Structure 1
C-alpha cells in the first residue's frame, strides 16, 4: 500500500473496501452497518471479510452523527469494588460490544449528588440510554430521566413503576429462612444491608416473614442495617455476636457482608458452620472457594446484566418493555451444613 512522505500508513477507507469487493460504496456502507438491509447475505459476508483483511475500521462517531445516536450506553453503579455489580457490568459491556455499542461506567457511591454529576456528564456525551444499578427509595434519577425522555433501565435493584431486571429478592430471603428453619435454627440474626435499596429491604422482609409465619419472629434487636461491604459486615456481625443471647445463625443479604460476618464469628471464638451458621446472597465466585464454603442464595448476575442491556435496547427502539424477575436458587455449603443441634 502506498505511504505518505511521513512514513505513516494511510487508513483504509470505505472506498478501498468497496473497490476490492467490487460493489458501490453505498452498498459497502450498508453491508458494514448494524442493520445491512437490502444487501444480500453473501455480499455482506464478502464485504465484512475484506474489511477485516484490509484493516478497515468503521468510524463509529461519524456513523453516530449520521444516525443521531452515539452508540454509547451509560451504566451507574454504587462502586465497582462490589463484585456483584462488577459481574453485572462485565456482562452489560459484553452484550453492548456484540451489538456495536460502547459503555461508560461511573461510580456514584450511592450518593445523590455524585449520581447527578455522573448522569449530567453522561448526557453531555450524548449517550443513547442509561442502566441504573444504584436505585434506592428517595432517589429521583429514574424519574428525572423519564421526564427528560432518556431511555433507562434499572438492574439489580428495583423501584415501583420503572423498568428493571432483578432477582426475586423477597423469594431469596424466604429460601434462606426455610433452609435455616430446616436446619433447626430458631434464634437468628440478619445483617440487612441498606433498607433504602430493594435488595436489602426485600431480602430481609422475605426472611423475617418466613420466620414469623413459622412461629419464630426475628426481634428488631437481631436485625442490623449496614452498608453492602465486608467492613460493614464485620461491625454488624460483632453487634449480633455481642448480644446476651447471640444468634445460632445469621443471614447476610450480600456475600461481601457475609465475609465480614465470618470475621465477627471468628473473633467471638465460635466455629463457623457448626456453632454459628451463615447464609449469604448472590453466590459470588469466591463463595465456593472460601476455607469454609459459604451457603448462598444464587442470583444469575451475568444473565441479569445481559437482559438489562436487551431491555434498554428495546426501550431505545420504542418497543414496550416489562420488568423481569429472575428466580433465586439456594446453594447449600459448609457454613450451614455442620452438626448444629438446637
Structure 2
C-alpha cells in the first residue's frame, strides 16, 4: 500500500494495485472510452475505491507542465478599480466558470512595460489563453506579437486593433450618435473630453463624434478637444479649464461617464446646471448615470455581454476554431443633462 504519510500518486496506486500507471490515469481522469480500453469493471472499481480511501487529489501543476496548458485564463486590465472594466470582467469570469475555466486579473495601470511583465508571468503559469483589455493603438504591439509568435490564444476586449480578434463595441457609431443628438438639440459649439490618446475607445468615439459634425459642414475647434485619463478627477480638471474659456462651449461630449461626472462637478462649482446652462453627454451608461441629481445622457454599451463574448471567442481560439471579432451596437440614452438647448 502507498505510504499514508505521503500524498497518493498515480504511480504509488498503480504499484499497490499491480496495474500500469496509465490505467490508473485513464480511470481517474474520467475518460470513458479510455477506461473501457484500459481495464475491466472490477479493476476500475478497485482503482476508484483506493483513490477514495487515500483521498487522492490530482497534481494539476504537474499536469499543466506536461500538457503545456492549464484551465486558467489571464485577464489583463488597465485598472481593476474602473467600474466599466469590472463589469466586463464579471461577464468574463462567470462565462469562463461555466466552461470549466478559472480566471485571474492582472492590473497593468495601462502601461505597456507592466503589461508585458504581467503577461510573461501568466505565460510561466502555462495559462490556456489571455484576454487583453488594455491594448494600445500604435504601430508596435510587443505583447500581441509575442503571443502570436508563441501561438498563445488571446482576444482583445473593449479596445480593438486592426488585424486582432476582439469583443468590443462600435465606438465610432456611439460617438456619431452622441453628436447627432447634440446637433439636433441645436448645439454647435461643442467640446470633447477625449480620454487617453493610446486607447482605441476614446479615439474611435471622438472620431465618430467629429465626423458627424463635419458631415453637417461644421468643423469643431481642435483646442476644445482635450485628452487625459478616464477618471472623474481628470473630468473635473478639464471641466474647470473648458468652462473658464471665453466664449465657453455650449455642450460637452465625454468619451467616458466618469469624465462626464467630473465635468458636471466642475459645472456645479461654477454655478452652472447641466441641461439648462450646458449640455453634457457621457459614454458607457454606468448605473450611476441615471442616479445623479441631474441624470446623465449616455451612450449605453452591453458591458457584461462584451465580457461573455470575449470568453466565447477565446475558447474557440483555444480549440483551434476560426473566429471573427464581435462588434456590439451602442444605444443612446437621453436624460436631463442634455434634454434642452442650453440657454
- SS of alignment partner, residue 87 of structure 1: helix
The match for 2:291 is 289
Residue 94 (structure 1) shift: 0.8
Matched, 1:105 2:121: no
Matched, 1:340 2:334: no
CA RMSD in angstroms, aligned pairs only: 2.7
Instruction: String of CA shifts for 1:4-45, please: whole Å, max 9, x gaps.
Output: 9x9xxx99x9x9xxxxxxxx98887565x7xx7799xxxxxx
The match for 1:125 is 125
The match for 1:253 is 255
Distance (Å, rounded) in 1 between the aligned partners of 2:258 and 2:199: 16
The match for 1:274 is 276
The match for 2:187 is 185
Residues 234 and 257, structure 1, Cα contact 8 Å, conserved in 2: yes
Matched, 1:222 2:224: yes
The match for 1:141 is 143
Residues 60 and 71, structure 1, Cα contact 8 Å, conserved in 2: no
Distance (Å, rounded) in 2 between the aligned partners of 1:239 and 1:64: 54
Distance (Å, rounded) in 1 between the aligned partners of 2:33 and 2:258: 48
Distance (Å, rounded) in 2 between the aligned partners of 1:122 and 1:30: 25
Distance (Å, rounded) in 2 between the aligned partners of 1:87 and 1:286: 13
Q: How is 1:169-180 mapped onto 2 (pairs within 5 angstroms)?
A: 169-180=171-182
Distance (Å, rounded) in 2 between the aligned partners of 1:302 and 1:101: 17
Residues 232 and 260, structure 1, Cα contact 8 Å, conserved in 2: yes
Residue 341 (structure 1) shift: 5.3
Residues 93 and 103, structure 1, Cα contact 8 Å, conserved in 2: yes
Residues 93 and 103, structure 2, Cα contact 8 Å, conserved in 1: yes
Residues 27 and 34, structure 2, Cα contact 8 Å, conserved in 1: no
Residues 30 and 37, structure 1, Cα contact 8 Å, conserved in 2: no
Unaligned segments of structure 1, at least 5 residues: 16-23, 40-54
Residues 172 and 203, structure 1, Cα contact 8 Å, conserved in 2: yes
- SS of alignment partner, residue 338 of structure 2: coil
Residue 57 (structure 1) shift: 7.8
Distance (Å, rounded) in 1 between the aligned partners of 2:33 and 2:263: 56
- SS of alignment partner, residue 100 of structure 2: coil
Change (3 A) 1:180 1:38: farther
Distance (Å, rounded) in 2 between the aligned partners of 1:98 and 1:37: 24
- SS of alignment partner, residue 311 of structure 1: helix
Residue 161 (structure 1) shift: 0.9
Residue 81 (structure 1) shift: 1.1
Residues 84 and 284, structure 1, Cα contact 8 Å, conserved in 2: yes
Residue 143 (structure 1) shift: 1.8
Q: How is 1:31-46 mapped onto 2 (pairs within 5 angstroms)?
A: none
Instruction: String of CA shifts for 1:110-151, please: whole Å, max 9, x gaps.
Output: 112111111111111111111000001234211221112111
The match for 2:96 is 96
Distance (Å, rounded) in 2 between the aligned partners of 1:37 and 1:93: 31
TM-score, normalised on structure 2?
A: 0.82
- SS of alignment partner, residue 193 of structure 1: coil
Distance (Å, rounded) in 1 between the aligned partners of 2:61 and 2:151: 22
Distance (Å, rounded) in 1 between the aligned partners of 2:181 and 2:306: 25
Distance (Å, rounded) in 2 between the aligned partners of 1:196 and 1:313: 28
The match for 1:85 is 85
Residue 200 (structure 1) shift: 0.7
Unaligned segments of structure 2, at least 5 residues: 14-22, 36-54
